[in-house]
Structure 1
Amino acid sequence: MVSVCTTCKGLQQHFRALSGAMHDTEQESWLNTSLPSLRRSSNGGCRACAVLLQGILLHHDRFAGVREEDIRITAESFNLSGTAGKQSTQDHLSVEVRWKKQDSNGCCDGDEHEHEHEEGYPNLKLEFFTDRDGQSPFSVIGRGRHISENPLRDGGLATARGLIKECLSRHSRCRHTLSTSLPRRVLDVLQDDGSKSVRLHEAAWDADAQRYEFGEFLTLSHCWGSGKSVLKTTSETLDSHKKKIPWSDLPKTFQDAVMLTRALGFRWLWIDSLCINQSDIAEKLEASVHMDRIFANSFLTIAATSAADSKDGLFQAKTQPFKIQATDSKGSLYKIYVREQPSHYSFKAPFDEGAHMNDWELPFNSSAEAYAQTPLLKRAWAYAERLVSPRVLHFTTSEMILECREAYQCECGRIDNAIFDSRTTDSVKQEFARIIAENVERRGELPNGNRNNNRIDSVALQLASTSLNDAAKDITLRREEAIQLWSYIVTEYTSRDLTYDEDRLVAIVGVAKAFAESLKSGYIAGQWTFSTLGLLWHPSDSARSRRPKAQANNVPSWSWASVEGSPIFFDNSMAMDLACTVSFPSERARSQAWSPIAGDTLEITAAMVADVTFRIDGTHEYSLVKGGVCVEFKPDISPPRGEDSIVSGQSLICVLVSMTFRSSIIGLVLQQSKSNAQLYRRVGRFECYECQRDNEEPEDAESLFEYWFPEVEDMTQLDEGPLRSFIVV
């Protein structure tokens, strides 16, 4: 009778079959044990457990200081043969290591005898595999996926080309037109002088076609870092850069991007710091608001995703797998490799695949851990560049990842496969591309066609001819989906970092242009003018919020862009309209219907307006009171300060806007301007779930109507009653 290890089944398929535990499934679990148990099994003579233990202990620095009894280990293999639509078989053994967090006294959270580890992403995820000959003493440890050390060597270039080819051949939304217009300036990376140097090329302007010369080009998305190592084109260096930019002057990330551009067979590369005159303020603004032209027309965006500074380089050094020597029952030697699995943490959402857009949890990844290895993804400019680019090739510390308009691909082959990780990938880009593609299909145009760009250039004329009344009557499911996705994008965008406050609205202009056709609305300072509900934004954490340091671009208080420091959320649906309307005086001039980076005033007209008293109840705790009835209130900035400063007992205006399907009442809170009594500033949004009268028990939100508006007898006749109007700056 053959003795089989009860801990790991010897990591042999036939032993598992003999035990009757084999199932025809895509995943097979091989062990679920603690580190001490695995150690005992290894000391007891199990060769498979010894290999697992050695591989885990080679990564002991990851769990230094953690008690061994708090470390749980699970292992799975995958059987994808015959699974339709899946990528090629993964023959590695996946080992997950988890441990409980310890408190300040060194004690573990929860019951120390509880062996079931909480669900969630493992603290450490390893893969055990063989080399390409596939020889292993353990049948569940097979060949591993090759991950290139450098995309310019070891087959890395072929892998990059393969990812791009897969995208072009399978994804209709990603196919590029044969010819596109170059940006105003690009780098010419194919010099004929035999040197590695590059030069700045001024694209020829075609006055008849109103575009620059045709040519395919790549773009670079990167972190500037401290800015000291970023090579820039200025008025002083412009002429010399047109002649030659010495190779030694280029920071490492730029050098790597140039080498990759050449290797992929392209001549033109666009890098913001070199292709925009950084000392010309007007040119910088012009290029910024037309950034969508550049990245949307780029064949490929090269993303230095793991580089925090331009001197760090595009191709990050990768940790090589450890080698473990293993033997079979006859004493023959084999090599088993173990490495930490490439992390897709930054590209994954915290919910399972298939969740509807209305059920998304936002922002997808907001923790410092999520972006520890991918600092570029934490940048707001880079986020907008990702959205509008047809495809982005990310270079991370673990592998190359291609993100395009329809899918993700990676070198390890697991990023977009729910079998290996049930969490969905961040699908905002794909949803964004779907909306754009639907617009293109309705016009009968090709993706990235130049007619599309000309149309966007004249967006102000189109929007000026669309009245708010007509737009309100033409709301469709497509439009509702578009405004919902826009609000999600703003939430994701505002959860990321900007170096300069004045870029808050500038960096997202290109994304807004893409929504213009679906929403058919004016757009002023980040607000789609058809949507009153769009004004019901609120910072997720007002204690972290602040107003921008400089209001050079005239961002009004009613715009979400007037608050920095916290992700911005929106309310886009309601159960009842409380007869509140909004108009933009500037839009009446028609020529200003498209004002993406600045705004002036808006006029709010409402039937349900209450003069309330502001009350401070505690640290970051506030309420609004009228007639002894109070509701909780969260100001945009907490504690209120600067232009938002409010003292306890001060009078404010509460404008009720809608009632939601959450059975809550939502409205805006306004403060009379300190400099002009005819004007008001937004100081917050409130949502009333319950109201309270003196020391009585709290009542449902609907009771607020009775207490604050006893004169209203018929809620269906609000439009016919008296209205109050406010000019909000």
Structure 2
Amino acid sequence: MALCNVCHDLQVDSTTNLTTEETSQPESYRLRTFSISESLQDWRQSAESGGCAICRLIWQVLSRFDDDKDSVLDKLLRIPPPSSSTCSDDSIYLELSGFIGHPLLLQFVDLPNETYFPTLELFCRDDTSNCFQIIGAASEVASDLDLSLCTRLASKWLQDCQLKHPRCAAQRSSTLPTRVLDIGESLTTASIRLLETGPSQNAEYVALSYCWGKTGNITTTRSTLIERKKDIAWGILPKSFQDAIEVVWGLGIRYLWIDALCIIQDDVADWESESAKMADVYENAFLTISMDGARDPTQHIFAARQSDMISTADTLNTGRTARPARNVAVERFPFTGKAGETYVVYAREPLTHSDIISPRSYYDVTYPLMSRAWTLQERLLSGRILHITAAELIWECTTTLCCECGTISRESTYLSGNPSPKIAYDIAMQNIIEEGRNALHVKAQQQPKQSNEEPLTPKTTREWTLLIGGYSNRALTYENDKLPAISALARRFSLTDELPIPRTYLAGLWLEDLPWLLCWRVFQRRFEKRSETYCAPTWSWASISTPVIWDKEIFEAKACIEVLDAGAAPFGQANVFGRVKGAYAVLRGPVQRAVLEVADVRHTAVSALRNIRGERVFFVPDLNPTVQHYARDISFGPQTQAEFHSGPSSTSRRVISPTLREGGEIACLWLLQGDTEDKAYALVLVPALDDANAGCPGKHSNAAMFERVGLITAMSRVYQQNDVPARRWFAGTEMETVCII
């Protein structure tokens, strides 16, 4: 019997598989994919003619989710189909796509503006057989989350991970952190207290990842430490902490780590020491419970689900009608097969997963925890995570990603070809370790101070730029936490525990490939002022509160500069990857002098520079050129490198950053050159004030002192019209040595 020429009887074969151009998955996966797209009129005609039961099922599903009062389908059917003589590019197509074993997606392609129709998914229940191999099983999500459901699912996922994921088990140590909460076995049999552990004391423990919020948290301080070690009354614990403890009891684990209670919050030395151990805390945890849906600890996680939640990505202004809340209904459709057998197919709007697979932190409100800076490293370093979101439970480990509704793996791997953030990080770290060992061998063959025209560790540098690009979008309560909140990941990237000579960390960048890492630029001109307290040197992305990115083309460019010297003095000795009290970079390369032009630039993303020949080039400023800068404190002054790293300067001066103004004098240090004339990257610098410091540390104390204010990048070339290419703009420059702070 011939197949229906519209739905193809939902058969998975070479005519319905994705092509090699449409998916990056291996061939074995591609052959299990399904994708068809036909005009809406063809679907209706096939359904109403009585000839195809499957097309009739698809039309019934669409009709059930259509608006009864103002039918969207009727409006779409009035748009001429492709076969019409009045056909235009506005024809409406319905696409069915899926992967064997997963629910089948129904979605319209290129709906007109001001028109919305939900994407739908067809699935069968876990315990129901199905006549369509392309309509896989999924689960319905309970309308309320309670302790029983949470512990049952968590225990199942945990058991599967322990039995089926050898990599997850191999990565974890069981050494307890400095302090943990001893919660006993239940509230009726034991009190809760803060336990200070002994050296190398081993036991399984759970770590908590949550939003501190603005109110409702409980902490350990120097004045409450003794009291916390004796007893922590149940009634003073925030609701989220109480719920987390009950889950840990349900899993049969005795110890819980919560940063607010296990770090002495008003003890700087303890905070520095414990923040330096953050990588070990989360990596060694048996499980991390992530309170993704709670804005602060006062919220109960055992409550009614927000099943109508949609992704914040869908709420952005895209020129279409604002998406309504998700329809939580699960509709049932009986279906009779060709042999007369009866099946049931279910349809619903898919739950939101995009924000947990690819968090869009700078505007994300779907999962509040994803918008916080500290929680990025908590997520990536944890071996296993139970995500408790407002809509469902999600499990994430270094092997898999699964969810309560049963569809997240389709989004994260099968069709898109993209692994989850945790799996991507794990793969990246394997590559970084291998590259680091190779780079160590190359470095050993080089002469001292020899500079590289190409990145020494391109994979590592690229991964770091991607990591920081996402991290810089995240929010911090305290500005000076910008480096500490990423310090655990920095420690892992340094390969301190892998190589005899680790990488050199410089206030958020790495010495090994510094010319390329200096090429960050602000993202989407979201200008904010620099911190009023010193966080990092101006050449570091950590010096500003604006999201940053690196152009991917920089890794194909060659360095034009030599790094003569660079250093960063850590704020304390406990965490060398944390806060810094001063930093410098001494670079030698081509320098072009110019003046700033603001008024005659039509594009808000860039400003202009005019060199001594009158030629103009555009650049991306770090800060708004029309805004007066702030004052900040900076400790800097020792004349030798040894003194610089030994401790704070004896003097601390008040330094006012130079103001970007029309006609202001600028120095441009040419960093990288790409394969064409217009692909040049250069730091835009202004002289530091005379009293900024007593000179650059070490033997380059006479070098001219500068601060960074922007970047000339290949991207800024798109705004230019008749101006000269960047390489020509730099013609005639002389080599200079500069010290940037």
Query: What TM-score do you get using the length of structure 2 for normalisation?
Result: 0.72
Contact 1:582/1:605, CA 8 A, preserved across alignment: yes
Q: Which residue, 269, 275, 283 being the options, matches 1:296?
A: 283
1:441 deviates by 9.4
1:72 deviates by 5.2
C-alpha distance in 1 between matches for 2:562 and 2:436 = 35
Q: Answer yes or no: is 1:343 the counterpart of 2:366.
A: no
Pairing 1:39-438 to 2, within 5 Å after superposition: 52=58, 55-56=61-62, 59=65, 68-70=74-76, 73-76=94-97, 78-79=99-100, 89-90=101-102, 92-97=103-108, 100=111, 102=113, 124-132=118-126, 134=128, 144-146=137-139, 149=142, 157-176=151-170, 180-191=174-185, 194=188, 199-206=192-199, 211=200, 213-225=201-213, 227-314=214-301, 317=305, 319=307, 322-324=330-332, 326=334, 328=336, 336-348=345-357, 365=360, 368=363, 371-411=364-404, 414-417=407-410, 422-426=415-419, 429-434=422-427, 436=429
Q: Which residue of 2 aligns with 1:704?
A: 729
Paired letter, 1:255? Q
Q: Which residue of 1 aligns with 2:708?
A: 682
Contact 1:321/1:337, CA 8 A, preserved across alignment: no
Pairing 1:505-584 to 2, within 5 Å after superposition: 505-517=483-495, 520-541=502-523, 543-551=525-533, 553-569=534-550, 573=555, 575-584=557-566
1:340 deviates by 2.5
**411-420 or 434-443, which moves further after superposition?**
434-443
Contact 2:461/2:517, CA 8 A, preserved across alignment: no
Q: Answer yes or no: is 1:657 the counterpart of 2:679.
A: no
Question: Residues 504 and 554 from structure 1, CA distance in 2 versus in 1: closer, same or farther, beyond 3 angstroms?
Answer: closer
C-alpha distance in 2 between matches for 1:147 and 1:263 = 23
Pairing 1:610-625 to 2, within 5 Å after superposition: 610-616=592-598, 617-618=600-601, 620=604, 621-625=606-610
C-alpha distance in 2 between matches for 1:153 and 1:191 = 15
Secondary structure of the structure 2 residue equivalent to 1:423: coil
Contact 2:585/2:739, CA 8 A, preserved across alignment: yes
Q: Which residue of 1 aligns with 2:460?
A: 482
Contact 2:207/2:289, CA 8 A, preserved across alignment: yes
1:72-99: CA deviation from partner (whole Å, max 9, x where unpaired): 53334644xxxxxxxxx34x44323556
Secondary structure of the structure 1 residue equivalent to 2:270: helix
C-alpha distance in 2 between matches for 1:467 and 1:499 = 46
C-alpha distance in 2 between matches for 1:347 and 1:287 = 28
Secondary structure of the structure 1 residue equivalent to 2:457: helix
Secondary structure of the structure 1 residue equivalent to 2:369: helix
Aligned residues: 636
1:528-560: CA deviation from partner (whole Å, max 9, x where unpaired): 223331552333436312234332x54221211
Secondary structure of the structure 1 residue equivalent to 2:485: coil
Q: Which residue, 671, 691, 695 being the options, matches 2:686?
A: 671
Contact 2:617/2:724, CA 8 A, preserved across alignment: no
Q: Percent identity?
A: 24
Paired letter, 1:299? F
Contact 2:535/2:542, CA 8 A, preserved across alignment: no
Question: Residues 534 and 520 from structure 1, CA distance in 2 versus in 1: closer, same or farther, beyond 3 angstroms?
Answer: farther
Paired letter, 1:614? L
Q: Answer yes or no: is 1:497 the counterpart of 2:506.
A: no
Contact 1:558/1:681, CA 8 A, preserved across alignment: yes
1:184 deviates by 2.2
Gaps of 5+ in 1: 80-88, 109-121, 350-363, 445-461, 713-722
Q: Which residue, 716, 724, 728 being the options, matches 2:736?
A: 724
RMSD, matched Cα:
4.7
Secondary structure of the structure 2 residue equivalent to 1:584: strand
C-alpha distance in 1 between matches for 2:208 and 2:273 = 19
C-alpha distance in 2 between matches for 1:31 and 1:389 = 41
Question: Residues 608 and 426 from structure 1, CA distance in 2 versus in 1: closer, same or farther, beyond 3 angstroms?
Answer: same
Question: Residues 331 and 467 from structure 1, CA distance in 2 versus in 1: closer, same or farther, beyond 3 angstroms?
Answer: closer
1:218 deviates by 0.9
1:8 deviates by 5.2
Q: Which residue of 2 aligns with 1:114?
A: none
Secondary structure of the structure 2 residue equivalent to 1:488: helix
Secondary structure of the structure 2 residue equivalent to 1:512: helix
1:28 deviates by 4.3
Secondary structure of the structure 2 residue equivalent to 1:638: coil
1:382 deviates by 0.9
Paired letter, 2:625? P
**340-349 or 45-54, which moves further after superposition?**
45-54
C-alpha distance in 2 between matches for 1:486 and 1:216 = 31
Question: Residues 472 and 510 from structure 1, CA distance in 2 versus in 1: closer, same or farther, beyond 3 angstroms?
Answer: farther
Paired letter, 1:266? I
Contact 2:601/2:608, CA 8 A, preserved across alignment: no
Secondary structure of the structure 2 residue equivalent to 1:531: helix
1:564 deviates by 0.9
Contact 1:98/1:124, CA 8 A, preserved across alignment: no
C-alpha distance in 2 between matches for 1:63 and 1:579 = 67
Paired letter, 2:94? I
**498-507 or 592-601, which moves further after superposition?**
592-601
Q: Which residue of 2 aligns with 1:609?
A: 591
Paired letter, 2:188? G
